[in-house]
Amino acid sequence: MKIRFGHFFDQIKRAYKQRSIQLIISLSFTAIAVFGMVFLGVALYSQFSARARENTIENDEQVLEQVSWNLNTYIRNMMSVSDSFYYSVIKKKDMSKDSFLEEMDLLYEANKDNLISIACVTEDGALICASPVANRKEGVDFCAQEWFRNAEEKIADIHFSTPHVQNLFENSNYRYYWVVSLSRSVELTSLGNIRKGVLLVDMNFSSIEQMFSKVNEKTSGYVYLVDRNGEIIYHPRQKAIYSGLIQENNLALKDCEDGVHTEIFNGVERSVIVKTVGYTGWKIVSVTPTRELALSLSQTRMFSIIILTITIFLVLFGNIFISSRVTDPLRKLDDSVRKLEEGNLDVDQIYIGGSHEIMHLGRTIDSMVKQMRKLMDDMVKEQRDKRRSELDALQSQINPHFLYNTLDSVVWMIESNRYKDAITTVTALATLFRISLSRGDNIIPIRDEIVHAQNYLNIQKVRYKNKFESSIEIEEGIKDCCTIKLIVQPLLENAIYYGAMDEDSRITVKGYEKDGDIYIEVSDNGMGMPPEALENLLKEKTRTRGKGSGIGLWNVNQRIQLYFKGDYGLSIESELDEGTTVTIHLPKIPYAEYKNEKNEKNEKKGGGA
Amino acid sequence: MKHRQRPLLILAVLLALALIGELTYYTYLSKREDPIRQISLIVYGSDPARWENLRQGAELAASDLHAEVTLITMSTEDDALEQISLIEREIANGADALLIAACDSETVGAYMAHTRPKIPYMFVESGILTEDVLAASDEEMASSLAHTIDENEKDWIKVALIADHLERESVRKRLEVMQDPGVKYADEVVLWERNEQEKNKKAQFFLQRELTEEAVDVVVALDNSSMEELLDATVNLNKDIKIYGIANSNKSVYYLDNRLIKSLVFEDEFSIGYLGVQKVLDEKKREQEETIRFEVVGYDAVYEAAHQKLLFPHVR
């Protein structure tokens, strides 16, 4: 898996490297911009969300403060009911003579929205009076009830019970009241004697419930109320907790101090704010799951994501546009250079545009291309001139050799007193040179070349005392076609040297047309050549330096190929003890046509000049 | 089209789609609130107060799940046809889910099997033969009741079982346990069952006659309806009778508190309501097995902290 991932990463890197400069600029700039924006966005969002959370907690604290104040007011009201009755009625009246009922009814009527009942009982559990007036429930022992025991245990204090169902009086319509009992020990005066008793104010639990229900509509989480032992007094899901359907971490609050805490309960992280209500020791607890604090920011988060996405796209487009503006001239320049790379030096113009650096680059390349083109043209011209001069040199090589050989023969004939033969030879030589000159033309009609060849043969026959026979058979149709001058003569020279040194030697020259081309064969019946010698015969390195001109077939072959190119040139067939045939392959070009073209060119040159 | 322009076009389309999607979400979906789902809680009997615990549980769960609960009682105690018409009416009115306390297991069961409502529904407290019901185990409650009688009373007592409302599967099951010879709690067990003619009259009168005519030590009511009818029959009869039963209406609790009922098996209907709503609204919860608890409460233990929380609903 690791290897596969590494391979994949390498592929991406390779692909990235092969991308265009525009893509690299676009992606790199976009990646940097996105990274920056995301970093900034996350930082700002974190800051904002932290602040928003603080605000939510502050808001919850304020709500908690408000409910604490309301609850305190409510409890103080209830305590003031108790105090009023105790200090204004019980303390001042003798219960054996006076009734408490009127004052109790008044107090009840004044507070009946928050009260279920007020009752006063003696220390042995006898009911002195109660408001509203009700029948004491049969079989109920007040002394056994929690509110009574609490009052008895700590007589100096006012005690608050946890919510419970009131169990004092007969109820009608099967109705029961959930109450929080406020009880205190009181000193009753009866016949001048002080007796102990308990004053009970049963606060309506619904008042507390309503108070908290309203609060719970305002906060992001929920608010509940516990007593000093952590027992639940009010909880929005109180009955579900009682039924064991859900749990609450209320008992952990027993020793919890006021303030903001974070707890993890049932796997959920929660922000808990605790506020203790004065005197009672009750604690108001606000619970907000941390997840819900974040939920309140979902709109902001979504808005941020939208803005971020739009900005990323805009940046991407901006980068593509800018990089396109920057790289388009480069790309066009690259296209021009690519054409050059492909060998197309005829590019009209190298692209010059864009920023001044790219323009400078374009101009430089353009100048270089022009220089290169000029250099190449010069080189081609130089090469052509070189070839031509080489050709001329090759051609010029013939004359001294031939002249040397012929003159050598003439010298020999004069020495042998064969003056007539010498005259004939010199005459033939004169004719030969006339043809050689050809007014400087390298191209002559085959007819002239054959005359030249015949003269040469004549000269050689004289020299070699007619040791060999020769015949020339040229088709009439090709006699007026073009040939390079002096190409048959070297072949005859070779045929004479290598093939006509024995008696019955025969040299044949045949000229004919085949497949639209001209072929001139020079054959001898000499000793022939081995195949390995044939292979290298037309190669420069094998130029023979033995008998004869020493220029050999390579010279002729080079001249034909320099002029006519293509497949034209010499081919040699030889068989040991049988003879050798060298064939000249030439294109069929009528000499008149050649002359006309040449004249036209000359006229153009003259006109141009 | 030039190849170079294709990525730009794709990006433009992506941008447009992303913007449309995000703006749609932002302007519409994110602000749209799911509609409040309506749950009809169709119960038998005509007294809504008797179902206070069930309703409170259902409403608490509904408030957590963005739903509302409507308690629908009948005009009579157990008219199956009326209950079926209520079911039909609630479905027609667009209820999103139903919680049904079946008054007649067979008839309502046959109707539900025939119509197969498209909306989720669940039987609570009293179900039908073919489907699960969310309630405490009837057999265990009856068994606990028999055990309580056995513990509280002497061995030689004569017990009368009120065999009424047997069209409810729950009552039938409880009666079967109480009549099981293997379950010993009395020397003699008699069945008080109305005949066809008596069924047209108030059960209270039938029970008064039985109480007067037949001397029994203990009378057992196996459901709320029978218990309330028994209480109505007993209150003014001035006859020393010990009443046991399975019930959880406020009237039953009142008479338990007033010692007319000696012991009650009390089903936690708050949990039934709470879990019932969760199950009809949440498919995952529907599959979960739930055990509904019950308590045996004697008249002397009504005000024990644990029992208070179970017996007395918070009435505002």
Q: What is the CATH number of the domain that holds A572?
A: 3.30.565.10
A239, A299, A316: residue with CB nearest B56: A239
Record: contact A139-B259, CB cut-off 8 A: yes
pLDDT at A199: 92
In the listed set A245, A272, A295, which residue is the last one of a domain according to the structure? A295
Residues of chain B with Cβ-Cβ distance to A165 below 8 Å are: 303, 308, 312
Residue A489 in domain? yes
Residue A321 in domain? no
- Pair (A242, A186) in one structural domain: yes
Residue A417 in domain? yes
Residue B95 to chain A, least CA–CA distance (Å):
25
Domain housing A550: 390-608
Record: contact A240-B274, CB cut-off 8 A: yes
* Integer angstrom CA distances of residue B86 from A321, A364, B82, B91: 69, 95, 6, 9
Residue A47 in domain? no
pLDDT band with cut points at 50, 70 and 90 for residue A36: confident
Same-fold call for B37-135+270-281 versus B138-267: yes
pLDDT in tens, A488-502: 888 888 888 777 667
- Pair (A373, A474) in one structural domain: no
Pairing of strands A505-514, A259-265: unpaired
Q: Give the position of tokens 């109660």.
A: A130
* Burial of residue A271 (number of CB atoms within 10 Å: 0-12, 13-18, 19+): buried
- Pair (A224, A348) in one structural domain: no
Record: contact A210-B316, CB cut-off 8 A: yes
- Joined together, the tokens standing for residue A462 give 């004289």
Residue of A nearest to B15 (CA): A313
pLDDT tens, per residue, chain B with 316 residues = 445 556 666 777 777 787 777 777 666 665 566 788 999 999 988 888 888 889 999 999 998 888 999 999 998 877 899 999 999 999 999 999 999 999 998 899 889 888 888 899 999 988 887 777 889 999 999 999 999 999 999 888 999 999 988 889 899 999 999 999 888 898 999 999 988 888 778 888 899 889 888 889 999 999 988 999 999 899 878 788 899 999 988 889 989 988 899 999 999 999 999 999 999 998 888 888 888 999 999 998 898 888 888 888 765 5
Record: contact B314-A302, CB cut-off 8 A: no
- Pair (A238, A152) in one structural domain: yes
pLDDT band with cut points at 50, 70 and 90 for residue A426: confident
Residue A324 to chain B, least CA–CA distance (Å):
11
Extents of the domains making up chain B: 37-135+270-281, 138-267
Query: What CATH number is given for B138-267 in this structure?
Result: 3.40.50.2300
Return the residue in A166, A239, A299, A323 with the most chain B beta carbons within 10 A, the one to mutate for interface testing.
A239
pLDDT band with cut points at 50, 70 and 90 for residue A371: confident
Output the pTM of the full model: 0.64
Query: Average pLDDT of A436-451?
Result: 78
pLDDT band with cut points at 50, 70 and 90 for residue A344: confident
For A3, list phi and psi in degrees, rounded to 5: -65, -45
- Pair (A160, A269) in one structural domain: yes
pLDDT in tens, A536-588: 777 654 544 444 444 567 778 877 887 787 688 888 888 888 888 999 999 99
Record: contact B11-A313, CB cut-off 8 A: yes
Record: contact B270-A167, CB cut-off 8 A: no
The verdict on domain B37-135+270-281 having CATH code 3.40.50.2300 is yes
Residues of chain B with Cβ-Cβ distance to A139 below 8 Å are: 259
B25, B274, B305: residue with CB nearest A245: B274
What is the Cα–Cα distance from A61 to A259, expressed in whole angstroms? 9
pLDDT at B28: 64
Return the residue in A165, A204, A213, A327 with the most chain B beta carbons within 10 A, the one to mutate for interface testing.
A165
Whether the pLDDT of residue A290 is over 60: the answer is: yes
- For chains A and B, CB pairs below 8 A equal 85
Return the residue in B11, B22, B63, B285 with the most chain A beta carbons within 10 A, the one to mutate for interface testing.
B22
What is the Cα–Cα distance from A366 to A354, expressed in whole angstroms? 15
Q: How many helices (H) and strands (E) does chain A have?
A: 15, 18
What is the Cα–Cα distance from B184 to B143, expressed in whole angstroms? 10
pLDDT at A492: 86
Burial A167-201 (b: 16+ CB within 10 A, else e): bbbebeebebbbbbbbbbbbebbeeeeeeebbbbb
In the listed set A295, A325, A358, which residue is the last one of a domain according to the structure? A295
Residue A20 in domain? no
- Pair (A172, A236) in one structural domain: yes
Record: contact B313-A206, CB cut-off 8 A: no
A165, A243, A299: residue with CB nearest B271: A243
- Pair (A436, A376) in one structural domain: no
- Joined together, the tokens standing for residue A189 give 């005066």
pLDDT in tens, A214-239: 888 777 788 999 988 888 888 988 88
Whether residue B251 lies within 8 A of chain A, CB to CB, comes out as: yes
* Integer angstrom CA distances of residue B276 from A348, B58, B168: 87, 7, 19
- Higher-confidence residue of A374 and B34: namely A374
Whether residue B89 lies within 8 A of chain A, CB to CB, comes out as: no
Record: contact B253-A309, CB cut-off 8 A: no
Residue A213 to chain B, least CA–CA distance (Å):
12
Residue A411 in domain? yes
Whether residue B285 lies within 8 A of chain A, CB to CB, comes out as: no
Residue A515 to chain B, least CA–CA distance (Å):
52
Q: Tell me how far the alpha carbon of residue A602 is from its chain's centroid.
A: 65
* Domain CATH for A162: 3.30.450.20
Residue A502 in domain? yes
Record: contact B274-A209, CB cut-off 8 A: no
- Pair (A98, A177) in one structural domain: yes
Residue A326 in domain? no
ipTM of the complex, rounded to two decimals: 0.84
pLDDT at A45: 81
Domain count within chain A: 3
Record: contact A209-B316, CB cut-off 8 A: yes
Record: contact B23-A310, CB cut-off 8 A: no
